[in-house]
Amino acid sequence: MKNEILTYLDDPRELEKLYRGNKTPFKQAFSALYPELKGNALADFWNERLHYDTDDISWGTGRELLMVLIAALVASFIAKIPAMFQIDEEFFYPRNIVFIFLPLLTIYFAWKNKLQAKWISVIFGIMTVSLIYINALPASATSDTLLLACIHLPLLLWVLLGPAFVGNNLSDYSKWLAYLKYNGDLIIMTTLILIAGAIMSGVTVGLFALIGFRIEQFYVAYIVVSGLSAAPIVGTHLTQTNPQLVSKVSPVIARIFSPLVLIMLVLYLFAILYSGKDPYNDREFLLIFNLLLIGVMAIIFFSTAEMSRASTTATGMLFLLSTVTILVNGIALSAIVFRIAEWGITPNRLAVLGGNLLMLLNLLFITIRLFRSFTKKSGIAAVGRSIAIFLPIYCLWAAVVIFLFPVLFSFR
């Protein structure tokens, strides 16, 4: 991105096209370059444009608002399908909850980025097959393969959302890093929306109760369910039309939580030694251990995405965090190998083994890149590439668990 900005610095039209193609990577690259370009009239103009703060909220164009409104209504309709068509909620929601909003977000970005028809066909072809397949699996309260398929389905659809966000240039790793940043921003924005909605809901129900109307059941069944369904869609639109809303919050959160998580992990490893607990013989402890690992991996991903330039302190902190996480991953991986050797292969053990191996390889790539960035042998962009290159691999593994595990293990 930096090279392209320098190439088109004296060409306002091409520079504008470059900016509209991907705003966040452009802003990050330009901010890093500006100290060298200060004094150039066009560079000064772009610096003011990119860093001009305003309290005004942009709601987007009329077409964008209509698109968001339709998507929110469709999400609400999908969420209410069990009630409208007398479908068992325990059957519907575990299999279909991810289809309430992720396909609609994919449509939103595909429309916004004018995604090529071939990519639209591939993405929605896979989503359609997944929808039919997951609902065709035999209903069983004790099926491990069904549970694994439902758990991995959100990962598959989340990775498929990536190409719609990135656009037609799928090899641009900076855009994939921007995709991770979008997810962090969306979590913050959606959380704020839900907090505000919870406060409003409490006030509304309380006010009606004061005048003798008990609306709790109706309110939860229609308003709350619809609000929860629409929140990610509205949050996405707000982050895309008003990046300034959370652009300063996300990096601060990333900078605060990275060292805190590092300290927590180190203390936790020492605490394990004294507690007598171990993941080798305690199945529930191993499950919690792996959930911890996934959470730390997410923090590393989002923290890297928030780094616009290679700060030595921040890079060193992430390097230490990823190094300790490799140790945690190694413990979890050795525990699952031990359990397979002792008690044989099951769907759960094989799924955890594959996931841990992928995360370990990804962590090794990230740690090496962070070390090179820390020692100034490469830029922070290389770290982003080591993350982005693994996303399709995670997608393939999720597809294996969803589509092959039920067949290989006879739906047990």
Beta-carbon count within 10 A of 201 CB:
16
* For the chain, domain boundaries: 2-51, 62-244, 248-408
Alpha-carbon distance 40 to 17, whole Å? 20
Task: Note down pLDDT in tens along the chain; length 412 residues.
Answer: 677 788 877 778 878 878 876 676 777 778 778 878 887 878 888 887 776 665 566 777 888 899 999 999 999 999 999 989 999 999 999 999 999 999 999 999 999 888 999 999 999 999 999 999 999 999 887 889 999 999 999 999 999 999 999 888 887 777 888 888 899 889 989 999 999 999 999 999 999 999 999 999 999 988 999 999 999 999 999 988 887 777 677 777 777 888 888 898 888 888 888 877 778 887 788 888 888 888 888 888 877 776 655 567 778 888 899 999 999 899 889 999 999 999 999 999 999 999 999 999 999 988 888 888 777 766 666 677 778 888 899 999 999 999 999 999 988 7
Per-residue buried b or exposed e for 140-154, using 16+ beta carbons within 10 Å of the residue's own CB:
eeebbbbbbbbebbe
Residue 72, pLDDT score = 94
Q: Where are the alpha helices (DSSP H) in 38-61?
A: 41-51
Q: Give the 3-state secondary structure of 174-217.
A: HHHHHHHHHHHHHHHHHHHHHHHHHHHHHHHHHHHHHCCCCCHH
Angle at the Cα of 232 from the Cα atoms of 351 and 157, rounded to 5 degrees? 30
Question: Do residues 235 and 189 lie in contact, with contact meaning Cβ atoms separated by under 8 Å?
Answer: yes
Give the model's pLDDT for residue 50. 76
**Token code pair at residue 107:** 């449509």
Contact 335, 349 (CB under 8 A): no
pLDDT given for residue 401 in this prediction: 96
pLDDT for position 68:
93
pLDDT for position 284: 81
Which pLDDT does position 53 carry in this prediction?
A: 60
- pLDDT value for 144: 92
